[in-house]
Amino acid sequence: MSALYPEIEPYDHGLLDTGDGNLIYWEACGNPAGRPALVLHGGPGSGCSTAARHYFDPDAYRIILFDQRNCGRSLPSAADPETDLSLNTTWHLVADIERLRACLGIDTWLLFGNSWGSTLALAYGETHPDHVAAIVLSGVTTTRRSEIDWLYRGMAPLFPEEWHCFRQAVPPGSQGRDEDMVAAYHRLLNDPDPETRLKAARDWHDWEAASILLADPQGRPRRWADPAYLLTRARIITHYFTHSAWLEDGQLLKNTARLTGIPGILLQGRFDIEAPLVTAWELARAWPQSELSIIPHAAHSTANPDMSAAIVTATDRFRDFPQK
């Protein structure tokens, strides 16, 4: 089993001006002359985590992390109700990644994406395949309508008490509790009343916690104690999912031919309830240069020791891979 690499601090960081009022926080760790690797965080809206630095050999990799639009240390923050999210879409993020690559003088890089980050990695890779050397994905998602519906309706029979609370938290009204839950919470998270917004953010994360606590008895992520973090993340997630992430349904699976020649490793927990195995299996069948590894005792979290070890093993495999 591969151990995580030691804790490291960035040797460089900055704010990338996108030219449309957004500033994207980025940081670089490891070896400035090493193989470039880009970390794409989940959520959407979760922000990058220091834990992701541990997945790469710091002597071999130039590790780039960034906070996607309106979350983490990027500005303006989605926690502010005045922040306009209309310029925050999948395709804005793809353009941000390409702008960051050019700004840092990188030709090709390895992409690592977890959960929503796997969707974003596929979207970028299919748009800019010439700049992708390899891809490692965990907790694989493609953000199809069926995947969104599973998260906010399909899982209900597995967690009946939590689902009841999730629905009851939506005030009865013209649509009320019969409304699509993503749309209902999107409305509440953009309500003029700050208490309504905060309650909706907490209720949203209470529902997410149902599946997290099943897989990780240690509890909720520490960042969830911050109300601003909850508001940011929930507002961005509902913004993306009400718009189906600006993807045609099944688009990323249909366009895997654009990844031809790019090697990939797909890591999926057997007990991943949030992102069931079927999506990773379908992606592996559609992308011949990828290989699927099922982690027997893991779920969705990268904090699982078996999953984190599998990620390190995957990045180690590409460490000495010939440059594209």
pLDDT band at residue 1 using 50, 70 and 90 as cut-offs: very low
pLDDT mean across residues, the chain: 93
Q: Among the options 41, 92, 239, 300, which is catalytic?
A: 300
pLDDT band at residue 278 using 50, 70 and 90 as cut-offs: very high
- 200 vs 170: CA distance, rounded Å: 8
| Mean of pLDDT values over 158-186 | 86
Q: Among the options 57, 96, 203, 272, which is catalytic?
A: 272
300 is an active site residue:
yes
> For 16-48, what is each residue's pLDDT tens digit?
999 999 999 999 999 999 999 999 999 999 999
At 224 the pLDDT is 81
- The reported pTM is 0.95
Looking at per-residue pLDDT, the higher value among 79 and 299 belongs to 79
Q: Among the options 115, 138, 211, 308, which is catalytic?
A: 115
**DSSP string over 116-176:** HHHHHHHHHHHH-GGGEEEEEEES-----HHHHHIIIIITGGGSHHHHHHHHHTSPPSSSG
Looking at per-residue pLDDT, the higher value among 54 and 322 belongs to 54
Q: Verify cis geometry, omega within 30 degrees of 0, for the bond prior to 44.
A: yes
At 178 the pLDDT is 64
306 is an active site residue:
no
243 is an active site residue:
no
Indicate if the pLDDT at residue 176 is higher than 90.
Answer: no
By the 8 A CB rule, do 195 and 213 touch? no
> For 90-141, what is each residue's pLDDT tens digit?
999 999 999 999 999 999 999 999 999 999 999 999 999 999 999 999 999 9
Indicate if the pLDDT at residue 282 is higher than 70.
Answer: yes
> For 299-320, what is each residue's pLDDT tens digit?
898 988 999 999 999 999 999 7
> For 208-255, what is each residue's pLDDT tens digit?
988 876 555 566 677 888 999 999 999 999 999 999 999 999 999 999
